[in-house]
Structures are given as structure tokens and as C-alpha cells.
Chain A
Amino acid sequence: MTRKSKTSVRSLRAVFAAPLAMCVLSLIGLVSALAGDGLADWLSWAALAVPVLAVAWAMRRRRRQG
């Protein structure tokens, strides 16, 4: 990210955009495996993996930036 975006003040919407997406995906993941097998299970695993992958992404990005 650019230096400019580091100092500017974010709106509430901007702060919660990614967290809200994580919440929605988590809830889809929690419910879909409850509703069915097969494809529903795969959807569940993929959706619940997003919060985990977000942390991995943040850690990698941190390392790249030094």
C-alpha cells in the first residue's frame, strides 16, 4: 500500500469492509455443511478457510514489506 493510504483517515465502511466479508463467508461456511453433503461440504471448507488464509496473507505481506 502507498504511504498516503497509511495516513488518511478511513470511513467506518472502509474499516469494516473486509471484516464484514469474513463474517459473511464464515456464516456461509458454518451453515452450508449443516445443510448438505458433497458440494455443500466443499463450500463450507472453502468459505471457512478464507479467515485463515487472510491471516496467512497478512503475515506474508508483512514479510515482503520487511
Chain B
Amino acid sequence: MINPTDPENKSTKGPSKVKIRQLPTGVRGLDEILGGGIPEYSFIVIAAPPGSGKTTLAHQIAFANATVQRPALYFTVLGEPAIKMLRYQQQYTFFDESKLGTAIRFINLSDKLMESDLPAVLAEIIRQVTAANPSIVVVDSFRTVMRQAVAGGNQLEMQTFIQGLTQFLTSWQATTFLVGEYHADEMRGDPLFTIADGLFWLSQVTERNSVVRKLQIMKLRGQASVPGLHTIRISDSGLQAFSRTLGFAKKKETAKRQRRLSTGIPELDEMLGGGIPEGDHCLIAGTSGTGKSALATQFIASGLRDGEPAIIAIFEERPLGYVDRAASFGLDLHTPREQGTLEVLYLRPLDLSVDETMQEILDAVERTGAKRLVIDSLVGFEMALAPGFREDFRESLYRMIVALTGAGVTILSTVEIEENFTSMPLSHYAISFLTDNVIRMRYVEIDGQLRKVMVVVKMRGGNHSKDIREYVITDKGVVVIGPRQTDYIGLTTGIPTRTGRTHEASPEPKAT
């Protein structure tokens, strides 16, 4: 009770605001999207076209919150029969059969609705709620209740029903979920959406052969939810939501240190002015076979030697092959994998969303405390996604890179580019805006051989060498050889013209 004489109340603090408790949804990622959870005693509409996961979502919330003392009452109406609902829902891992009948009670209202009218249905809900004192009440499908009232031409009865239900359940301290099949164009003018404290909108989008499920919190009174469309997935464990902010909305940015991280190639470190600045995103661009993956592996191995856990996300090759290839360069990645300081994630999801894939990477970073991350390659990453997600790829990638580098993780990505012999493209993605540093590797034709050169094109954090350096790939990995090439012009085109010495030793043996 508020005591007006209490000095606490007279102080600058003023009267305290009501604290709204937030209930967990039991859906991974959803609490963060909602801004912490479901506001207690709120009146939420879960609306969606068929097959979007609304009943599963309602079940997850019920199972996450119901107790024997404060049970969940799940009223089924003319929708899916409860016996079938139980048959299917028990397949999910969140389904705890020990809660059935005690903490979670299913009550079928279809007879009441068919035999009587809406006031009788409301009276039955009130009777059951009064007897059970539930914390959670679900009416599924609420739409069928409304349809019957509308078909009967009795709009007033319908509104009286909604009003009566909301007022009673709020007073009874129950958090209520009305589950209904709605299409997007039906939301205008429906009084239900005006009365509701929250509106969770689920949808399915078909893009070529893939289906993408989305969730939007269209309305939520009393707290700030994350706006926009969030990807959801239904798996054995039920729904999982992937926030557009990838969970980084509330994380603090770590101040970047000035430390330089070695790439594992001393000459390249020199070209970079001492290495890659910690917390940067470095892009390695080059055509197939130029040694991008070898360089990435050397970067990871260098960090592991310094005691920095790491993640390698690969899309085109299996982890064992990747690790074995590193061994051919004398780099032992097997041991750190066994020790848990290195995770090689093989992500070939084909039908996964970009947010889900990124969540896997983020989970691994969190799990290992990784300081270095390699994404090998961005092209493979994009190809592994369902077509519908490719449009969002750059935007999502940007969010993940900003979030991870902000948290102090140094990222090295490889990107395969289509080589030509007239210019030196950096990437067909136009992603250089999201990278701090760009290293370009390319073939050049010299003296009847395809030789390789690299150049540091961009470094946001400081000065760098502008030299074009030749390198070879040996059993030590990428090895930069020799000083900058001054004997040629036009190296960036791939077909240079010799201007200096007429004879020089080839860095790799020529066929005789």
C-alpha cells in the first residue's frame, strides 16, 4: 500500500510505477523479441493463416507457465479436436505429459457453442476459470466463436462477448491468449484487435521451393518489442524465433583495443601494418584456388597458438576434410577441436534462414568464447540459404558482423569472385561497406605461368602497404615471397607488361 507520508514517496523518486511481471514464452528467442516476455495479465491475440504454428506457440506458452497451483486452461472450440491436438503436440519435446490434467487442462466448448449461444460459452468459461484459478487461459480457435456470431448477424453479441471475456479474465489475473485463423486483410476494423493488449502475427511465405515462417509483434502494450518480421522455425522442440537483432539489441559494445592480430603470415602482417586490428572484419577476395581458405586457416591457427578460441564456419566442405587440409600445411586443428577451443561448423542448411544460420554461429561463439571467426565462404553461405532468404543476406550479414565485431570478435571472411583479365573486382556482393579491411588475391600471367599476387586494398583502421606482393602456396600454406614487383605494370589486370628485367627466376618450377 502507498503511504503518502513515506519519505520515499516524497523524494525525487515519486510514486513507484506498477511493475509488470513478464512471463516466459518457452520459445527460444521470443522473449527477447517481446522485450523480456509476455506482460502478465495481458490479453494477447495470436493470429495466423493455417499451418503457421499458432497452436504450437500457444501450447509452448502454456507448458512454460502452467503449475498445479496456477494451471493453464486450454479451451478448444470448433477447431482441431483436442484428442488430435494431444496426438500431435506430444511429439514436441516441450510437451510434458505429467502436466496434463493437473497443470494443463483441456476443455472442449464446441457443444456449448453448438447448443447454446455466446453468453452460454462465456458463462462456461467463467465457471471453469472461477473453479480452476488459472494463470493462463487459451481459447483455440477463437475465430470459430467469432464466425458463428457474425454468421448469426449479431455483432453486438460478439462485442459483448469479447468485452465480457477480457474484463473477466483480466480481473481474474489470468494472461489470456485468443488463437485464431486470420488473413492479413481481415485485421482492419475488427474490434478484437483494438481491445487486445498484444497481437502476434504469424505467417508463411513461399519463395520458389522453400517456405519461410515469419513472426511479427504488431502490437504489445506496456513494453518495447523488437519491430519487424522475425524468422521462426518449427522443429522437434517446437517453435524457435530468430530476432532480427540476433539477440544483440541489449548487449553492450566492447571498446576496441588497438591490438593487432597476426594472420600467421609474417609478410602479410607487415603489409597490414602489424596485423588485423582486433575486432575488425577482414575480407579476403579472390578467385578459386588463390589460397583464401589456406590464409583463413593460418589466421585461425595463429590465434589458437596465442590461446584464442576460434570458430570456422564452412559451407562447401566437410569439417574433417577442412581440418585434414590444414594438417597438410603443418597446422594442427584436430587437437584444438578435441579440446573445445576450436569449432568447425559445417552449415549446409539449404532451407535455413540467414538468421537461423547466424544464430548457430553466434551460439558457437558464445559457447567457446571465440575471439576469431572465419566464414569460408560468403558465396557458400548465401548458396546454403533458402532462396527466399537470399534477399536478406547482405542486411543480415551486416547485422551479425556489426554485432560480433562490436563484441570484440575478429572476423575473417572469404569471398570468391569471378576473375577477369581487364580489371580487379573486389566482390560481386558490393559488401566492402561492411568490411574494415580487404585483401585481394589474384592470378597474374607472367612468363607463361599463372602466378599469384596479393595486395591490401583497404584498411579502415590505419595505414597499410600498397605493395602488390607475389606469393606461393607450399606445404607451409600461403607464403609471401620477394619484395614488391617493380618489373611489371598492369599486375591488377592479371596480364602485366614487363618493364624491368627480361629474365627472372620463376618462384615455382616450370615444366621442361
Do these two chains really belong together in a complex? no
Q: A residues near B, CB below 8 A?
A: none
